[in-house]
Amino acid sequence: MKSTELLETQHRKVEALFKRLDRSDGDAAGALVELADNLAAHMAIEQETFYPAAVEADEKLISESLEEHSLAELALKRLLHTDPTDSAFKARVTALCELIQHHVEEEEKELFPKAEKLFGAEKSAQMCAEMQARFEEVLEEGHDSVLPKGMTKTTADSSRPKRSSGGGKRTGSSQHQARRH
């Protein structure tokens, strides 16, 4: 199997997990952990093996892909720290899914063909075996083994209106106070 075929198979798995998470009512937490583990393992093998080998194919696209991974990590960590019953949960699932969809489309249409041309069949197959082994290792250890610590909140969290027991939004100085912290 080629390295890009492995990555494309993992892309389809992540897409299916997003659909499962979007549909899940009772077990959103379980679906989220499975998504986080698969997504983190996938990003790890791209960053550790695939991107360094493919940088000659398209350095600009690799650089953009790494930035998208950074954004995906932040979005994933925020999602993992969001209660599935919170009104922000579905919005965060959607935002992360859209980021990943854009990323996948660029990789599959632009980067992968260039990388395969650069690698050749033998190198691609060797990389595939290495990436599969590392993927399984990270999947077994879980997403916490590769996602950086910290940074689960952003300024957008401080700006999000809080609902009181009466269902109203904070007003006036309490909104300003929340933004300062």
Question: Is 178 inside any structural domain?
Answer: no
Domain of residue 10: give its range: 3-150
The dihedral built from the CA positions of residue 108, 139, 49 and 146, taken in this order, carries a sign that is positive
Q: How far apart are CA 4 and CA 112, in angstroms?
A: 6
Domain count, the chain: 1
Q: What is the pLDDT of residues 38-62, one digit of tens each?
A: 999 999 999 999 999 999 999 999 9
Question: Is 179 inside any structural domain?
Answer: no
The pTM is what?
0.84
- The residue among 87 and 155 whose pLDDT is bigger is 87
77, burial (CB in 10 Å: exposed 0-12, middle 13-18, buried 19+): buried
Question: Is 177 inside any structural domain?
Answer: no
Q: What is the pLDDT of residues 133-172, one digit of tens each?
A: 999 999 999 999 999 888 776 766 666 666 544 444 333 4
Q: How far apart are CA 181 and CA 166, in angstroms?
A: 24
Question: Is 175 inside any structural domain?
Answer: no
Question: Is 163 inside any structural domain?
Answer: no
Q: How far apart are CA 56 and CA 159, in angstroms?
A: 42
Question: Is 160 inside any structural domain?
Answer: no
Question: Which residue, among 17, 13, 45, has the nearest Cα to 31 in the 3D structure?
Answer: 17
Region 171-175: mean pLDDT is 39
Question: Is 136 inside any structural domain?
Answer: yes
